[in-house]
A and B are shown apart, each in its own frame.
Chain A
Amino acid sequence: MTPDEVAFELTVDGVRHEVTARWSESLLTVLRDRLGVRGPKTGCAHGRCGACAVRADLGDGAPHVLCACLVPAATAAGGSVATIASIGGPDGELSDVQEAFLAEGAVQCGICTAGFVTAATELLETNPDPTRTEIEAALYGNLCRCTGYGRIVAAVEAAARTRRQQEAP
């Protein structure tokens, strides 16, 4: 270990890792290059596109969606990260949000998709019946260059509708 490195524990998608990284390394770099977790994508590396969005608990017990490219990995020491791999069933079953993204045509090149699914999943956990404005508020940190967003909004609305119907008595 060199003087500019630090060792810490990090739980990613339920798996505990011992990480040695430089202080300056972003959570995204640690996930992708050190741990081989490739679900979060590198789109801009300056927090603008949301392709690297993950749900992280930085140790304060309040997990929330953030841009992994903006967080120094060491600040997540002892914390846990849920990437796109944590969404969906254990045998590759798709979550209702993932299913809706496919059905509604919200996926084209797909480089933004993991980030959108991550953010949309958090939205529906906290707000099962979001308005269009609430969907925009939750997803404006994610850029998509292919779809023009129409199918993404449709997918979130469809997933919310399906979930409400299933939960209705």
Chain B
Amino acid sequence: MNGGGAPSGIGGRTPSSSPLAGSGRASGRGQAHSGIGSSVRRPDGPAKVRGEFSYAGDLAAEGMLIGDTLRSPHPHARITRIDLTAARALPGVHAVLTADDVPGDLHVGLTLRDEPVLADRVVRYAGEPVAVVAAVDAATARRALRAIEVDYEPLPALTDPELARDADPVHPDGNVYRHVAYSCGDPDARGVVTVENTYRIGMQDPAFLAPEAGLAWPTPDGGVALDVATQWLHSDQRQIGWATGLPPEKVHLRLAGVGGAFGGREDVTLQVHACLLALATGRPVKVEYTREESFLAHRQRHPGSIWLRHSADADGRIVSVEGRVLLDGGAYASTSPVVITNTVTLLQGPYRVDNGRFEGWSVRTNNPSCGAMRGFGVPQAAFAHEAQLDALASALGLDPVEIRLRNALQRGDVATFGQRFDAPTPVREVIEGVARLPLPEGPARKAPGGVGRSAEGGTVRRGIGYAVSIKNLAFSEGHVDESTAEVSLCDGHATVHTACAEVGQGFVTVAEQVARTVLGASTVEVTQPDTLVASAGSTSASRQTMASGTAVHRACLAVRDRLLGRLARAHGLDAAELTIADGVVCAAGKPLTSVAAAAPGQTFRATEHFQHPDTFPLGSPEARMYVGFGFSAQRAVVDVDVELGLVTVVQIASCQDVGTVVNPTQLLGQIEGGIVQGMGLALMEEVVVIDGRITNPDLQDYLIPTIVDAPEIVSTYVTDPEPGMPHGWKGVGEPPLVTAVPVVAAAVRAATGLPLPAVPIRPEHIALGIGAPPTVTWTTPRPPDPSRPPGVVVDEEPDAALGTMAEEGAPPGP
């Protein structure tokens, strides 16, 4: 399984095979079985299965108040009057705050800083916070909200993103978050056939199961502390600092237990409000959202439309691609300026494209704000480009696997955006890997449909589809991607301290595995992340094993060298001859002492920083937008009741480029979890926004997959180590979701023969055949014009204000 420096090979396992259980049990027993490559158990697992793990929602403090939020009922309105008198007069109410009570800068935001902490005379989406209160209990806080009098003068709501560019600005910063346009080669080159269509992607909610919660309290230094479930402590700290006017050193954050994130906790929601209330009241204040508020407050995945035109030669080789993207960013910027480049640049998919023209906009509307969600703009692109590949294959009479193999990117190829794929690019390998996996045997166990409705004897057809994806890993376009780790070792006990947010993905396990492998530690404590150590960046972009894992690895190496140096001096040996394996220090291969007994009572400590090589904006001469890439291929088998439009996903087979397998069980958990989330977007999940209002802000009407919906998943891997990363590891969390969206759609198309150009695919799309097919045009071949300039031509200057993510974090360590 573990690549361990071996060249590209395929390791694999089906979910039901036995090594999983066996390797899991080895955790914590012998060190040989607790390092990189083994299924070490989560260190936080025992507390979680006992129900004793403390989540943000479990926080409590002596004398705490409860905070609550008054939200706009209108998607766009002017606030003509706010009267707080009655609310403030209620017994038990300690604070009622509006924009006028914000002591610092009113505006926050991950990139453009365009969002008021509390509405500033205008509300721009339904659910925008207008006022916050702190009261002795939740019921009193609720009464206080009802006692706040607000007069709104409704304004026309801009809810159609197609109209945003030409509409009156709904914000002083205008209605376009970012426009990107570039071309490469000769976009007008043609093969024998072109296919084009417009694809639509619905708004997906991260729907992490623990709603937002946090507890803030004033600190003796005049500052404020906040325990909160977040993905990015230092980003929260910075934005709290802006709004409170406090310097960062007086804003103290710690990570509370996080119940899932998936991108939805990257922006601030209640963080600033809780701190403002704590400072205003001098008391601890807890804020915990309801499920409905959670839907209203956090960022969703961008809905969008994508037009694509592919031209190919008779062999199915792509000659040119043209694409245009419109993403609805909603009322405030969040990460919309960054997401749009992901979507636009990765429209080419994991295929070689020499000639292309690409353009995209992320725009402002009065719809809910969209931002990060697992995949970050790429599931949208993948849904569209994979539908196009199937349309090309169909037009040319080619097998869907064959057309993908013929176009597969290879190492050394150059992307449409100019970057050379200079690391392993195993596209062919993941396609071949997934095509080799056995198809499910026998009839399906259950009829199409889910918990709500199942098919009853109608016409059921089986379909098989394939999809392949490319996902950029880590931050991009100059946004600094870094982390810092502080590691200490004493008597064989290691302590690892970072600001990396554990949100469920299992970084705590990886950190422990690294400390055991490098230091030979017998016990490892991964301490609570906080802002006492430098930023780890966000737990997003599949990046924390690469960034924080590598920082931990470096710090462990430094600690090991300090320990071995001390031992070498004590024993008159050459430190270069000393090694650590399985918790034992060896001199020239012979056991010298155990790590635990090597230096009794002495502590060795190191703090190390890691930063990926720089990246640059689209169109920069360095031609390096992205840190790296991950590739994934999947095959879906579905059964469809074609009359009722009900679908069951019978099996999804996956082959993913993972660098190396750090922890087989956790890796499988990322694959399976990502696939089922992607399947949710493909078949059932959509935040339904009508006239700017979310109509299904609950888990009754917003459907996420249940255990009944989940398919059998067969997972294999290509392990080709990523250069520059310890053990060759790379990010794995997003690709499974990215590929699952198009693969499920492809299989349903195969079963029904319908074009299905929109996700989620709803029963009525199938039953009524809704959705236009691609336009297929037979063309006279036209080779690329050799006089066209080589490389990427950006049609407009890249936006100079890429935003503040680039400034985030501490300067590189010593």
Chain B positions within 8 Å of A98 at CB level: 49-50
Closest-CB distance, A87 to chain B (whole angstroms): 8
Chain A positions within 8 Å of B46 at CB level: 92, 94, 102
* Interchain CB contact under 8 A, A101 and B49: yes
A44 touching B699 in the complex, CB below 8 Å, given contacts A103-B24, A105-B669: yes
Chain B positions within 8 Å of A39 at CB level: 50-52
Closest-CB distance, A26 to chain B (whole angstroms): 12
Interface residues of B in 265-290 (CB under 8 A from A): 288, 290
Query: Which residue in A41, A113, A150 is a CB contact (below 8 Å) of B15?
Result: A150
A60 to B265, CA, bound (A): 43
A136 touching B55 in the complex, CB below 8 Å, given contacts A43-B209, A45-B290, A98-B50: no
Residue of A nearest to B652 (CB): A148
Query: Which residue in B49, B211, B451, B704 is a CB contact (below 8 Å) of A145?
Result: B704
Contact with B along A42-55 (1 / 0, CB 8 A): 11111011010000
Residue of B nearest to A37 (CB): B51
Chain A positions within 8 Å of B504 at CB level: 108-110, 146
Residue B140 CB within 8 A of the other chain: no
Which secondary structure dominates chain A's binding surface?
Answer: loop
Residue A17 CB within 8 A of the other chain: no
A32 to B21, CA, bound (A): 34
A153 to B672, CA, bound (A): 12
Closest-CB distance, A135 to chain B (whole angstroms): 7
Contact with A along B373-406 (1 / 0, CB 8 A): 0000000000000000000000000000000000
Residue of A nearest to B679 (CB): A148
Chain B positions within 8 Å of A101 at CB level: 45, 49
* Interchain CB contact under 8 A, B51 and A83: yes
Closest-CB distance, A102 to chain B (whole angstroms): 5
A113 to B47, CA, bound (A): 10
* Interchain CB contact under 8 A, B673 and A108: yes
Chain B positions within 8 Å of A107 at CB level: 42, 45, 48-49
* Interchain CB contact under 8 A, A140 and B706: yes
Closest-CB distance, A88 to chain B (whole angstroms): 6
A41 touching B708 in the complex, CB below 8 Å, given contacts A85-B50, A109-B258: no
Closest-CB distance, A140 to chain B (whole angstroms): 5
* Interchain CB contact under 8 A, B506 and A104: no
Residue B208 CB within 8 A of the other chain: yes
A123 to B493, CA, bound (A): 40
* Interchain CB contact under 8 A, B666 and A105: yes
Residue of B nearest to A110 (CB): B48
* Interchain CB contact under 8 A, A46 and B698: yes
Query: Which residue in A88, A105, A114, A140 is a CB contact (below 8 Å) of B707?
Result: A140
A26 to B255, CA, bound (A): 29
A85 to B699, CA, bound (A): 26
Interface residues of B in 483-520 (CB under 8 A from A): 503-506
* Interchain CB contact under 8 A, A45 and B49: no
Interface residues of B in 1-32 (CB under 8 A from A): 15-16, 20-21, 24-25
Query: Which residue in A113, A132, A149, A153 is a CB contact (below 8 Å) of B49?
Result: A113
Closest-CB distance, A124 to chain B (whole angstroms): 15
Contact with B along A149-164 (1 / 0, CB 8 A): 1111110001000000
Interface size, chain B (Cβ < 8 Å): 66
Which secondary structure dominates chain B's binding surface?
Answer: loop
Closest-CB distance, B201 to chain A (whole angstroms): 20
Closest-CB distance, A84 to chain B (whole angstroms): 3
Residue B97 CB within 8 A of the other chain: no
Closest-CB distance, A21 to chain B (whole angstroms): 12
How many interface contacts (CB-CB < 8 Å) are there between A and B?
185
Chain B positions within 8 Å of A110 at CB level: 44-45, 48-49, 53, 257, 259, 504
Residue A30 CB within 8 A of the other chain: no
**Which has the most chain A C-beta neighbours within 10 Å: B50, B207, B261, B504?**
B50
Residue of A nearest to B24 (CB): A103
* Interchain CB contact under 8 A, B445 and A133: yes
Residue A40 CB within 8 A of the other chain: yes
A144 to B210, CA, bound (A): 11
A146 touching B58 in the complex, CB below 8 Å, given contacts A105-B24, A133-B445: no
Chain A positions within 8 Å of B25 at CB level: 103
* Interchain CB contact under 8 A, A105 and B210: no
Closest-CB distance, A14 to chain B (whole angstroms): 15
Interface residues of B in 555-583 (CB under 8 A from A): none
A8 to B504, CA, bound (A): 38
Interface residues of A in 45-75 (CB under 8 A from B): 45-46, 48-49, 51
Chain B positions within 8 Å of A151 at CB level: 15, 665, 668-669, 672
A43 touching B445 in the complex, CB below 8 Å, given contacts A103-B24, A103-B41, A104-B21: no
Chain A positions within 8 Å of B698 at CB level: 44, 46, 48
Query: Which residue in A46, A105, A142, A145 is a CB contact (below 8 Å) of B208?
Result: A145
* Interchain CB contact under 8 A, A148 and B674: yes
Chain B positions within 8 Å of A32 at CB level: 58
Residue A10 CB within 8 A of the other chain: no
Residue A112 CB within 8 A of the other chain: yes
Q: Can you list 15 A-B pairs, Cβ within 8 angstroms, ordered by A?
A: A36-B60, A42-B211, A46-B700, A48-B698, A51-B209, A94-B46, A103-B24, A105-B20, A105-B24, A108-B505, A109-B209, A140-B706, A143-B704, A151-B668, A158-B21
**Besides the contacts A38-B58, A43-B209, A145-B677, what 5 more A-B pairs have beta carbons closer than 8 Å?**
A40-B51, A48-B700, A104-B24, A143-B704, A158-B21
Interface residues of B (CB under 8 A from A): 15-16, 20-21, 24-25, 39, 41-42, 44-46, 48-55, 57-58, 60, 207-211, 257-262, 288, 290-291, 445-446, 451, 503-506, 665-666, 668-669, 671-677, 698-700, 704-708, 710, 712-713
Interface residues of A (CB under 8 A from B): 32, 36, 38-46, 48-49, 51, 83-85, 88, 92, 94, 98, 101-105, 107-114, 117, 132-133, 135-136, 139-140, 142-154, 158
**Shortest beta-carbon contacts, A-B, top 4:** A109-B504, A39-B51, A111-B259, A110-B48
